[in-house]
Amino acid sequence: MNNQAAPALDPRADIARLTTAIVDIESVSGNEQALADAVEQALRVHAPHLEVLRDGDTVIARTHRGLPQRVLLAGHLDTVPLADNLPSTRRVREGREELVGRGTCDMKGGVAVFLKLAVEAATAPVDLTWIFYDHEEVAAADNSLTRIAAEHPDYLEADFAILGEPTSAGVEGGCKGTMKLEVTARGIAAHSARDWVGENAIHHLAPVLERLAAYEARRAVIDGLEYRECLNAVSISGGIAGNVIPDRASAVLNYRFAPDTSVEQAEAHVREVLAGLELEIVVVDAAGGALPGLDNDAARGFLAALGEGVSLAAKQGWTDVARFSALGTPAVNFGPGDPLLAHTDDEHVPLQDLEAALVGLRRFLAA
């Protein structure tokens, strides 16, 4: 744990410098305090128009102007573990300047854009809530939004939410749901030299793998966005020794399902795919998806402010927009950085993405 005071953040700095300063405050999940302190201090010093609250290592800042709509903008402060990629560096590649380092893409670039605009947007046409939160990159139960939704649901109230996940400064609507299941086959243990007296549980998983290999995933088009479902085995375990026929073997499956499908429907579908096989099927973890959330006035205003050239796609993973959807709040993903670079050793963000996200949101908040 780093107990040293974090450097002061200046939201008035240009977006590349601000992002660099935020990235260089290491904040691997569980170690967000220094960055949360720096964000809180920057808001208290530079944004007198905001009510600033602290909940653990989450910082909430909001306006109370009595406007008819409220928009919430949320960005997580934590990153996955380092890979020798801090402090950050700059490089020019293929004529494009990039900031390289852990968190540049996922999602400190988005945090920098939000922090800068939280200070600037004192006269936005909507009331605003800014949330800079901790523990997103770990188990859902540890995510501070889980605690806040239970203890202070009023902090999350909004008509529309924007999550600063990396989208290359385009808009990714909604997200897919996710389910993890453990599929277990049983057999009869025996010496491997006399396999006829046993029953090999690993072999009993073969039909499971055959069905998954032949599985044709659904493509669901919702509000013009295509969500590609995926059903895969992600791990297999079984066996205790090289001379023993195993009496138990398990496969863990991961199902990513379109947001028009409930968790209950998703489980029923997996059971249907594996119907007729002698298996124990247990759902280990599940979270529903989120519909695109593009059909309300605030979302339409957001898209209009970004302009006709902005890319629009479905979010193919799971993000915290699902939390807001569950609360009845339409939400989208929008932030700098390519999502395919998240968690990679060469994680980086193009400076032009930072500028594009900043300019687009600035237009929206000045509309």
Active site residues: 78, 136
- Owner of token pair 């863990």: 252
The burial class, CB within 10 Å (0-12 / 13-18 / 19+), for 30 is middle
The whole-angstrom separation of Cα 107 and Cα 301 is 24
Q: Quick check: bond before 107 cis, omega within 30?
A: yes
Q: Which residues contact 13 (CB under 8 A, 6 or more apart)?
A: 21
Of 124, 132, 154, nearest in space to 44 by CA? 132
The whole-angstrom separation of Cα 100 and Cα 91 is 7
Q: Edge to edge, what strands does the sheet with 70-76 contain?
A: 51-55, 58-62, 127-133, 70-76, 160-163, 331-333, 171-173, 312-314
Spell out a b/e string for 239-267, using b for 16 or more CB atoms within 10 Å of the CB, else e. eeeeeebbbbbbbebbbbbbbebebeebb
CA end-to-end span of the chain: 43
**DSSP letters spanning 138-151:** S-GGG-HHHHHHHH
Q: Are residues 367 and 301 in contact, defined by beta-carbon separation less than 8 angstroms?
A: yes
How many CA within 13 A on the CB side of residue 142? 11
The burial class, CB within 10 Å (0-12 / 13-18 / 19+), for 210 is exposed
Backbone angles phi, psi at 139, to 5 degrees: -60, 145
